[in-house]
Amino acid sequence: MPLLYGVNHAPCRGNRATSFALLCSCLAISSCFVSSVSMPSPVVITVDQSGNGDHRTIQDAIDAAPANDSAAVVIRIRPGVYREKVVVDKPNVTLTGTSASSTVITWNESWVSDQSPTVSLLASDFVAKRLTFQNTFGNTAPAVAVRVAGDRVAFYGCRFVSFQDTLLDERGRHYYRGCYVQGATDFIFGNGRALFDKCHLHSTSPAGAGGAFTAQQRSSESEDTGYSFVGCKLTGLGAGTSILGRPWGPYSRVVFALTYMSSTVRPQGWDDWGDPSKQRTVFYGQYQCYGDGSKTDGRVAWSRDLTQAEAAPFITKAWVDGQQWLR
């Protein structure tokens, strides 16, 4: 059985340092994929807006990459603001920037179809490092910055910025480490199986606007999907402006563990989205969280304050089968 974060039976506050030390050791993983077969050297492509690379746009670089399952492609993106839509429909592609603050992929479009997001990830074995993905449409309609619809997808040190529906974690197994996600309403949503490790979630929802960090879509008890947030940080613009989540699907599943919750989180924690029947089927829980917004005495009665045993399946890389494809 894999190690657990915070393996102890004492209250959270007194053992938080031990919990985080174990968390660090359990999830200290790099961006490489494991393979039992010797892989050829990756194809390296450079994108530079000034013309001092192989291509001026990211999409041109992806289009030029070989569509071969065994050929890894590394696309190095030099600093700049790349105003373009990007679709990754080839496996084994890595996009890497110099820093998330200096390498930005941006578009301005509301979410009206699958082609609307700034970046759409449709293929398996994708990695992104040190990039910002944003949609600048504004606060009048949903606007997706990234749609993740491939399997075995990992992000490291990336930023996702929009207002409503920022990150569509649609389907597949996904891992986010050290990332920043910003939005106001349902800004992490979809039906993927995702682990967010040491990420910062920032709500820009104003008071009274009904902000929600998540809207997970699991539609049946048999679906092995859901979102787990481990060692993360939740902040916002003011006190009581956002809930942790609401159910897009009747069996929606979200867990927060060892996570700092500021006063931005409303005491109730969760909402049934106007359908009381979902209270019996959703799985919403937290484990050894801390901060003003983490107090469980005000939570809705149908949420869960998880025990160590209940939290165990969600708080290691095994939640996304990471032992098979992450190392």
pLDDT tens-digit map of 42-59:
899 999 999 999 999 999
Provide the pLDDT for residue 20: 44
Model confidence at 288, pLDDT cuts 50, 70, 90, reads very high
Is 40 a domain residue? no
Task: Say yes or no to pLDDT of 112 above 80.
Answer: yes
Model confidence at 71, pLDDT cuts 50, 70, 90, reads confident
**Cα–Cα distance, 320 to 75 (Å, whole number):** 25
Is 37 a domain residue? no
Is 44 a domain residue? no
Of all residues in the chain, what percent are helix, strand and coil, respectively (each to 5)?
15, 35, 50
**Cα–Cα distance, 253 to 261 (Å, whole number):** 19
Provide the pLDDT for residue 70: 76
Mean pLDDT of 23-39: 45
Which domain range does residue 263 map to? 13-32+75-325
Number of domains in the chain: 1
**Cα–Cα distance, 224 to 218 (Å, whole number):** 8
Q: CB-based contacts of 185: which residues, under 8 Å, 6+ apart?
A: 163, 164, 165, 205, 209, 210, 211, 212
Is 173 a domain residue? yes
Is 229 a domain residue? yes
Q: What strands, in cross-sheet order, belong to the sheet with 119-121?
A: 86-88, 119-121, 146-148, 167-169, 185-190, 211-216, 242-245
CATH code assigned at 269: 2.160.20.10
Task: Say yes or no to pLDDT of 106 above 90.
Answer: yes
Specify the pairing of strand 242-245 against strand 159-161. unpaired
Is 217 a domain residue? yes
Model confidence at 292, pLDDT cuts 50, 70, 90, reads very high
Task: Say yes or no to pLDDT of 155 above 70.
Answer: yes
Is 146 a domain residue? yes
Question: DSSP for 159-181?
Answer: EEE-SBS-EEE-SSEEEEES-EE
Is 96 a domain residue? yes
Task: Say yes or no to pLDDT of 118 above 90.
Answer: yes
From the list 26, 65, 24, 58, the residue with the least C-alpha distance to 43 is: 65
Mean pLDDT of 181-192: 97
Strand partners, 26: none
Task: Say yes or no to pLDDT of 315 above 60.
Answer: yes
**Cα–Cα distance, 71 to 77 (Å, whole number):** 19
Cite the active site residues. 186
Provide the pLDDT for residue 32: 41
What is the average pLDDT value for the chain, to the nearest integer?
Answer: 90
Of the two residues 69 and 272, the one the predictor is more confident about is 272
